[in-house]
Amino acid sequence: MGDNAWIGGNTVIFPGVTIGNNVTIGAGSVVTKDVPNDVLAYGNPCKVIRFL
């Protein structure tokens, strides 16, 4: 997990997944793939919504 990452409550992160720097992941998300730097991501499955 990168620096300045915020992970919402009830979020599931699969083993081996990398979370980038300056990332916000919404509550209740299921993260199945790597998340790049500087993004807002959420959902089931989690996907990038926008760049920050």
Q: pLDDT tens digits, the chain, 52 residues: what are they? A: 999 999 999 999 999 999 999 999 999 999 999 999 999 999 999 999 999 9
Give the residue from 9, 2, 3 showing the smallest Cα distance to 25.
Answer: 9
Give me the pLDDT at residue 11, please. 99
Domain residue ranges of the chain, discontinuous segments joined by +? 6-51
For the domain bounded by 6-51, which CATH number is listed? Answer: 2.160.10.10
Q: Which two tokens stand for residue 34?
A: 């790597």
Determine whether 43 is exposed, middle or buried from the number of CB atoms within 10 Å of its CB (0-12, 13-18, 19+).
middle
Rounded to whole angstroms, the Cα distance separating 10 from 21 reads 20
